[in-house]
Structure 1
Amino acid sequence: MTPRIVAGRYELIEIIGRGGMGQVYRGFDRQLKRRIAVKFIHPGLADSEEWERRFVREAELMARMSHPGMPTVFDAGIDAGPPEQPFLIMEYIEGITLDSVLAKRGSLPVGAVASIAAQTAAVLAEAHNHSIFHRDLKPSNLMLCPDGTVKVLDFGIAVAMDANQTRLTRTGSGIGTPEYMAPEQVRGKTVVPQTDLYSLGLVMYELLTGVRAMLGASEIDTMINQINADPPVVHHARGEVPEELGVLITSMLAKNHTHRPADATAVYSVVMRYVGALDGLHENPDPTSPTRLYATAVGASAATRTAATHHHRAPKSPAESDFTRGDLERAVRQARDLADESRYVPAIGQLNTVLEVAVPQLGARDADVVDARVRLADLCMEAGDYKQAIAHYSELIDDLTAERGPYDDQVMFCQRQMANCQVHNGQVRAALTRLRRLHEQLAAWHGEDDPRVGQLAEMIAQIRAGNR
């Protein structure tokens, strides 16, 4: 049988996938002698101008992005047929989709789920940076490759939110998969970056428990659940899931998108703390693949970069050689004394200078160093340099959360201080979003009676009252 040839060079071999938009073939590029994937629009949609435009837009959208976690688009065009059909030529990805992994294994190890989530969040961060949202994230669109990487497939219903472009979405068009749709998506409302984070939260829950969190008896019931039902607590279904990871998933499944994590990078920063190996999930792993070797080298380079900077510094000055904790304590006291006299510039300079020496020697998370860093942030806030204070508090929150968890007293203090700075800096909405998300997560995990929940509620009310 003579194989079908597209655009005079792309040979179709076999169908490897079907979706809402069309069919995907495994193919071969006769000109460049390489395997490819060829995607056609569904014949039933070929006469729809809107769907045809959407299909062509997929090529334009994906061509903007460059990330190892998504297939590369090589070419696009219209096959003369008959019938006439738009097509995409994409990188051929060899692997197994996560719905297949779930069907064979059920729930996955925590470390493996964290690795999958981290890689997916990294792809979403790239897409969201281009104002592109996936809108159909689910296990069947996540492919585990033999080299241990995860590819995010099928941006075919993604929508670019650029102001100068026509929206290709119609309210009620039913785009997406009900089991993984965010409430605002079910309602036909505006899609935002947190829409994809909601779907990722559902995927993470399913990978950890083997159960679809919002599945109803029918498609309509499932969509009603997405809008109204409280998300299940992953810790109740699987007790060994770390508390912080469970809290993250709960926040990702918040009904109000403003209560979900700020962005994909925030999700990435948490799940990376629990990343483990994906070995054993793929039937034919390739531990010596060039991609894995390259990624391992990059990871090792990143992990040692800071240490190398510290260990290969120029010879220490006498002040560095003689540095003690007592010097740090004295510097903090002197800075406080200067601040009491409203001499903030020398006070901040004093702490900055001593921390440049203390951090490499004692570590950024050393208790005494942390106290000095908090004092520096406080001084910037008192001096009215809210932008610099926000930067200091943000770094402290990241470092302390990684070591002590999100509800440590010092972490909570920094969160409240950062919100205050944001209010003074004119970022009232960002401050309220931060505090409401923290309030919701803390209340969900520790209960409304926790005094910290009350403190946050009072602070939120004060900010709202002061900005009416």
Structure 2
Amino acid sequence: MTVTTGRVVAGRYALATLIGQGGMGQVWTAYDQRLDRRVAVKLLRPDKVAGQEAGELRRRFARECRVTAQVDHPGLVTVHDAGSEGEELFLVMQYVDGADLSGHLAEHGPYPWQWAVAVAAQLCAVLSAVHAVPIIHRDLKPRNVMVKQDGTVTVLDLGVASVMDNDTTRLTHTGSPIGSPAYMAPEQAMGGAVGPYTDLYALGVLLHELLSGDVPFAGSTALGVLHRHLYEPPLPVRRIRPEIPEALETLVLRLLAKDPQHRPASAQEVYEHLAPLLPARGTPTGAPLDPTRPFLRPHAPWPDRARTPAPQPAPVAPVEEKPDVARAVDEVKRLLGEGRITQAVDLLGAILPAAAQQHGEHSPVVRTLRKQYAATLLDDGQYRRALPELRRLADERAAEAGQADPRSLRFRFEAAQCLEQLGEPAAALAEYRALLPFYENRYVAADDPDLVLDLRRRIGLLLLALGDRAGAHATLVRLLHDVEHTRGPGHPLAGDLRRTLHWLGRMGG
């Protein structure tokens, strides 16, 4: 990718100075010529992504940008614009005046432990907000965290790693997972399903680094680093710095647990453990780039936010105005055709009560609208809102047509996908396993022959995420044999499975 100073992106953003680059692209300072303000522009390199067609990558990019733009939190960099130009994807963000945490640590490392607690608490607030969507950062590391002049912390690159990845971690052409090995959770290193617990592990690595001056697992090769993540216990930080509170050391070790189920349950829980260690209320020092300065009180996460469903939008019109359901349906179709998914979701949610009143709760019109609503929520990444809708549709269809009805099973499969994305791997695995016998039935499988393969793949990856490497290996080996037998050795899924099994073998699985 050849990019030069002065190039204007999207007819509006004039690139000024290259401030960072890596495997996925470059970051530039730029000037928004329309509003005359400094911005940051990230240019992504689609050629570095394994197994994704250009059109599918652009669709994923637009979706992730749309979802992340809805997260309103002071600890997140604001997204101003996004799109594609030629073969490149671009993301226009707020320019943050400060220092990235990596450079800041190099000047002040190791951190005073109070600074480390202040940074981690602010990161918990951000993670609590994004996990409630849910979004998984997947690449939390010091270079993706900025300390602003007032000491507040801002997280960068939310959603970018997900765009360059797949629903679960995909291996690159070289057989290495996407991400930064030093901060990579064991389940991510093995190519298993990821969730909020994956970001919490990265937070533990980052917190260990702030306290000790180095990451807990280093090495001369990516393979060596990942092997240590999987098999070696981290060094307790008090052995390096005895003045660190014992409670803080205990929290770091919990965050670095190999098994996701042994880590704290949420970023909210981590924050509650950090809160007693935060600086006492008082007058800030006023020094720039001091991460304790915001503590009078940090941007605390909303209590129980991650367990509270998003509020439903208010009705478009009072009932007495008798909304025109047919016209609203036409408007939804138009919005979906224009890619305005979020607006379509809100309109569908608003029109459903009126449609139920006019046509009856169980009428074909209302059922069609509810199916569209659930499908659109799923496509928009609003898994928390989609889950109860899909479960309701599955139960109603099963009551009418039986447990083996293909449409009921499909709704259950999509509900399990929501559980997976919401960071509930054990629940998702149980549901996939309950569905598998139905899809292995020839009559049911005939309706969607590829879905049973995807179902078995997801079971294998969730077993990896839960630390059952032997079970995952056996599941994926059997699946590879069946894919090669029924689809041929050149099928894309066969290639993915061989890479995963090769990686699993190299890591001692």
The two structures have a TM-score, normalised by structure 1, of 0.56
Match of 1:32 among 30, 35, 50: 35
Match of 1:275 among 256, 273, 278: 278
| Equivalent position of 1:70 in the other structure | 76
Range with bigger deviation, 44-53 or 256-265: 44-53
| Equivalent position of 2:180 in the other structure | 177
**Structure 2 residue matching 1:16: 3-state secondary structure:** strand
- Relative distance call for 1:214 and 1:244 in structure 2 (3 A) is same
- Relative distance call for 1:44 and 1:191 in structure 2 (3 A) is same
The Cα shift of 1:3 comes to: 2.3
Stretches of structure 1 that go unaligned for 5 or more consecutive residues are 161-165, 303-428, 431-468
The Cα shift of 1:85 comes to: 1.8
Measure the CA separation in 2 of the matches of 1:113 and 1:158: 25
| Equivalent position of 1:167 in the other structure | 167
The two structures have a TM-score, normalised by structure 2, of 0.52
Say whether the 8 Å CA contact 2:5–2:15 is kept in structure 1: no
Say whether the 8 Å CA contact 1:22–1:41 is kept in structure 2: yes
What does 1:265-344 correspond to in 2, within 5 Å? Answer: 265-276=268-279
Once the two structures are superposed, what CA deviation does each residue of 1:199-256 show, in whole Å capped at 9, x if it has no partner?
A: 1111111100102101123221110000000121111111111111111111111100
Say whether the 8 Å CA contact 1:157–1:175 is kept in structure 2: no
The Cα shift of 1:98 comes to: 1.2
The Cα shift of 1:16 comes to: 1.2
* Count of residues paired in the alignment: 291
| Equivalent position of 1:187 in the other structure | 190
Q: Does 1:96 align with 2:102?
A: no
Say whether the 8 Å CA contact 2:169–2:193 is kept in structure 1: no
- Relative distance call for 1:197 and 1:286 in structure 2 (3 A) is closer
Say whether the 8 Å CA contact 1:76–1:89 is kept in structure 2: yes
Say whether the 8 Å CA contact 2:212–2:240 is kept in structure 1: yes
**Structure 1 residue matching 2:214: 3-state secondary structure:** coil
| Equivalent position of 1:433 in the other structure | none
- Relative distance call for 1:103 and 1:223 in structure 2 (3 A) is same
**Structure 2 residue matching 1:235: 3-state secondary structure:** helix
Say whether the 8 Å CA contact 2:168–2:194 is kept in structure 1: no
Say whether the 8 Å CA contact 2:121–2:298 is kept in structure 1: no
Once the two structures are superposed, what CA deviation does each residue of 1:93-136 show, in whole Å capped at 9, x if it has no partner?
A: 11101111222222001111000000001111111101211111
What does 1:409-428 correspond to in 2, within 5 Å? Answer: none
Measure the CA separation in 2 of the matches of 1:199 and 1:179: 9
| Equivalent position of 1:252 in the other structure | 255
Say whether the 8 Å CA contact 2:115–2:290 is kept in structure 1: no
Letter in 1 for 2:77: P
- Relative distance call for 1:287 and 1:270 in structure 2 (3 A) is closer
Letter in 2 for 1:189: G
Q: Does 1:21 align with 2:29?
A: no
Say whether the 8 Å CA contact 1:25–1:39 is kept in structure 2: yes
The Cα shift of 1:274 comes to: 1.4
Larger of the two Rg values belongs to structure: 1
The Cα shift of 1:27 comes to: 0.9
Letter in 1 for 2:66: E
| Equivalent position of 1:210 in the other structure | 213
| Equivalent position of 2:132 in the other structure | 129
Once the two structures are superposed, what CA deviation does each residue of 1:276-311 show, in whole Å capped at 9, x if it has no partner?
A: 3998897667999xxx6xx859989x9xxxxxxxxx
| Equivalent position of 1:152 in the other structure | 155
| Equivalent position of 1:319 in the other structure | none
Stretches of structure 2 that go unaligned for 5 or more consecutive residues are 303-425, 428-509
Say whether the 8 Å CA contact 1:110–1:276 is kept in structure 2: no
| Equivalent position of 1:235 in the other structure | 238
Say whether the 8 Å CA contact 2:79–2:94 is kept in structure 1: yes
Measure the CA separation in 2 of the matches of 1:238 and 1:281: 27
**Structure 2 residue matching 1:188: 3-state secondary structure:** coil
Measure the CA separation in 2 of the matches of 1:88 and 1:217: 33
**Structure 2 residue matching 1:132: 3-state secondary structure:** coil
- Relative distance call for 1:218 and 1:252 in structure 2 (3 A) is same
Structural RMSD (CA): 3.4
Match of 1:61 among 61, 67, 70: 67
Letter in 2 for 1:72: T
The Cα shift of 1:174 comes to: 1.6
Letter in 2 for 1:30: Q
Higher relative contact order (CA 8 A, sep 6+): 2
**Structure 1 residue matching 2:30: 3-state secondary structure:** strand
Measure the CA separation in 2 of the matches of 1:103 and 1:44: 33
Measure the CA separation in 1 of the matches of 2:62 and 2:223: 31
Say whether the 8 Å CA contact 2:118–2:292 is kept in structure 1: no
**Structure 2 residue matching 1:13: 3-state secondary structure:** strand
Say whether the 8 Å CA contact 1:145–1:282 is kept in structure 2: no
What does 1:104-115 correspond to in 2, within 5 Å? Answer: 104-115=107-118
| Equivalent position of 1:85 in the other structure | 88
Measure the CA separation in 2 of the matches of 1:262 and 1:203: 18
The Cα shift of 1:156 comes to: 4.2
**Structure 2 residue matching 1:27: 3-state secondary structure:** strand
Say whether the 8 Å CA contact 1:184–1:190 is kept in structure 2: yes
Say whether the 8 Å CA contact 2:148–2:289 is kept in structure 1: no
**Structure 2 residue matching 1:140: 3-state secondary structure:** helix
Say whether the 8 Å CA contact 2:124–2:270 is kept in structure 1: yes
Letter in 1 for 2:261: T
Measure the CA separation in 1 of the matches of 2:262 and 2:297: 37
Once the two structures are superposed, what CA deviation does each residue of 1:130-189 show, in whole Å capped at 9, x if it has no partner?
A: 1211111111111110011001111244449xxxxx827424562111111000001000
- Relative distance call for 1:2 and 1:299 in structure 2 (3 A) is closer
Letter in 2 for 1:91: Q
